[in-house]
Amino acid sequence: MAATLQPHHPDKPHSIHEYAGLARPPHLTRLESATHKTGQVEPLSIDVDDAQGGFVPAFLHLPPDIFTNPLSSSSTAGPRPQTTLPPHHHRTAAILLSGAGGGVTGPSSIYLSLACKLATLGRGIPSLRLDYRYPSHTEACVNDAKAGMAYLRDMYGLDRFVLIGWSFGGAVVFTAAAEDARVVGCATVASQTADAEGIKRLPPRPVLLLHGSGDNTVPVGCSQRLWHMYGDGDRMMQVFEGDNHSLGKNAELAEEMLCEFVATCAGVRVGAQERRDVVAAELVEDGERHRLMERGGDLRAPERED
């Protein structure tokens, strides 16, 4: 099965300025009150060095214990400090990629809160919510992901990556991971199978596949096929009975599973209290998820929730 979505290309890449107000989830204070930590969020425009050129919008979530030194950056915001992680820190970051319309909030706005949670863990994991310059164009979107990895390596010394993709983003995740051994784990929500053959080259690196059985946009059979394409190795799959393309009925549980998966790939142990205070914190309420997806560009045509 391939994806049912038809490619759509905007006339020009979107700007980070279009996402004003989406740097943090609505109820971040719940996390800050429980942990007494405040992470950093940087809006970025990352230079992509390929034939199309241009800049890809992104939000970078950084742990609160980041150390900074004044060096230059590839962001259009001008010179920015280079950050050196504390010696105890793992050199791992998560990159969160959306569907065929691009966007920065993810399915059911999961990415908006997931990135904050990962950065707030006791051994915080930097997270990049990355848009696309030309959504649904696999090669260009893979180059966007590679540019994100290059930025994190050059600016923060990060050389291990966990990629998460929704819908069309699954093709980006598996293609990028197949081409780069620094990707240590991949997770997808409702992934398509078109252009996702890279999953065959991932073992023994871990893979997590999440899908709703009621998905009318990309059928659950796509993730089931990917499960078999992966072959032997560290593979996990969760089918949410009756849920839709964005896992709207199980967004909180899916977010918790993704958070735990990234932490495991990064070698970060999550204790019981941290699981309660951070992983299970509700930073986006159910009634807010659709509106934030619209504002974040994740429901641009041809992407859908159903």
State pLDDT tens for residues 36-74.
998 899 999 999 999 999 999 999 999 987 754 333 334
pTM across the whole model = 0.92
Cα 234 to Cα 7, 159, 205, 275: the distances in Å are 32, 21, 7, 23
% pLDDT > 70, the chain = 88
- Give mean pLDDT, residues 144-166: 97
- DSSP annotation of 148 reads H
pLDDT for 208: 98
Residue 180 neighbours by CB distance under 10 Å: 14
Residue 182's DSSP bridge partners are none
- Give mean pLDDT, residues 126-155: 97
Q: Phi then psi for 122, rounded to 5 degrees? A: -50, -40
- Give mean pLDDT, residues 76-87: 48
User: In this model, does residue 85 exceed pLDDT 70?
Assistant: no
CA distance 237 to 250: 15
Q: In 143-259, where do the E strands start and end?
A: 160-166, 183-189, 207-212, 235-240
User: In this model, does residue 89 exceed pLDDT 70?
Assistant: no
- Give mean pLDDT, residues 18-24: 95
Contacts of 153 (CB under 8 A, 6+ apart): 159
pLDDT for 75: 44
Residue with tokens 């696309």: 132
- Give mean pLDDT, residues 234-263: 98
State pLDDT tens for residues 161-212.
999 999 999 999 999 999 999 999 999 999 999 999 999 999 999 999 999 9
Q: CB of 186 within 8 A of CB of 172?
A: no
User: In this model, does residue 76 exceed pLDDT 80?
Assistant: no
Domains of the chain: 37-295 (3.40.50.1820)
CA atoms within 13 A on the CB side of 187: 25
User: In this model, does residue 14 exceed pLDDT 50?
Assistant: yes
User: In this model, does residue 228 exceed pLDDT 50?
Assistant: yes
% pLDDT > 90, the chain = 85
Residue 62's DSSP bridge partners are 40
CA distance 297 to 281: 24
- Give mean pLDDT, residues 84-103: 81
> Mean pLDDT, the chain, as a whole number?
91
User: In this model, does residue 4 exceed pLDDT 70?
Assistant: no
User: In this model, does residue 28 exceed pLDDT 50?
Assistant: yes
Contacts of 238 (CB under 8 A, 6+ apart): 208, 209, 210, 211, 254, 257
Query: What's the token pair of residue 47?
Result: 């230079």
User: In this model, does residue 82 exceed pLDDT 70?
Assistant: no
Residue 134 pLDDT grade (very low, low, confident, very high; cuts 50, 70, 90): very high
CA Rg value for the chain: 17
User: In this model, does residue 119 exceed pLDDT 90?
Assistant: yes
pLDDT for 13: 79
pLDDT for 79: 42
Q: In the chain, where do the E strands start and end?
A: 40-47, 55-62, 67-69, 82-84, 92-97, 127-130, 160-166, 183-189, 207-212, 235-240
Residue 88 pLDDT grade (very low, low, confident, very high; cuts 50, 70, 90): very low
